[in-house]
A = this chain, B = another copy of it.
Amino acid sequence: MVDTEGRRGSGSADPGPLGVIAGNGNLPAELVAAVRATGRPVVLVAIRGESDPALDGLGARWVEWGQVGKLFGVLRREGVHDIVLIGGVAKRPDFKSVVSDFETLKRLPRILSTMIGGDDSVLTRVLRLVEDEGFRILGAQDVAPGLLAGIGVLGRERPGERDERDIRLCRAVITALGPYDVGQAAVAMDGRVVAIEAAEGTDAMLARVTEARAARRISAKGTVGVLVKGPKPGQDLRVDLPTIGRKTIDAVKAAGLAGIAVEAGRVLIADRAATIAAADQAGLFLIGYKVGRAD
Task: Show the binding face of A for B, using Cβ within 8 Å.
Answer: 92, 118-120, 122, 169, 172-173, 176-177, 179-183, 187, 190-196, 198-201, 204, 208-209, 212, 216-220
Contact = CB atoms under 8 A, between A and B. Distances in A.
Contacts of A216: 92
Q: Ordered nearest first, which 4 A-B pairs have the shortest CB separation?
A: A182-B193, A194-B199, A119-B219, A196-B196
A199 B122 CA distance: 31
A204 B210 CA distance: 14
19 contacts: A92-B216, A118-B192, A119-B219, A169-B180, A173-B177, A173-B180, A173-B182, A176-B177, A176-B180, A183-B196, A187-B198, A192-B199, A194-B198, A199-B209, A199-B217, A200-B208, A200-B217, A201-B217, A204-B208
A187 B209 CA distance: 19
A200 B198 CA distance: 14
Nearest to A119: B219
Nearest to A175: B176
A36 B190 CA distance: 43
Contacts of A212: 199-200
Contacts of A187: 198
Q: How many copies does the complex hold?
A: 2
Contacts of A118: 190-192, 219-220
The majority secondary structure among interface residues of chain A is mixed
Given A173-B182, A180-B176, A192 B120 contact: yes
Given A195-B198, A199-B212, 5 more contacts: A122-B219, A173-B177, A176-B180, A196-B198, A204-B208
Contact of A176 (B176, B190, B198, B209): B176
Contacts of A200: 195, 208, 212, 217
Contacts of A194: 198-199
Contacts of A122: 219
A179 B180 contact: no
Contacts of A199: 192-195, 209, 212, 217-218
Nearest to A224: B118
A194 B184 CA distance: 12
B191 A180 contact: no
Contacts of A193: 180-182, 198-199
Contact of A220 (B119, B176, B182, B195): B119
A23 to B, nearest CB: 15
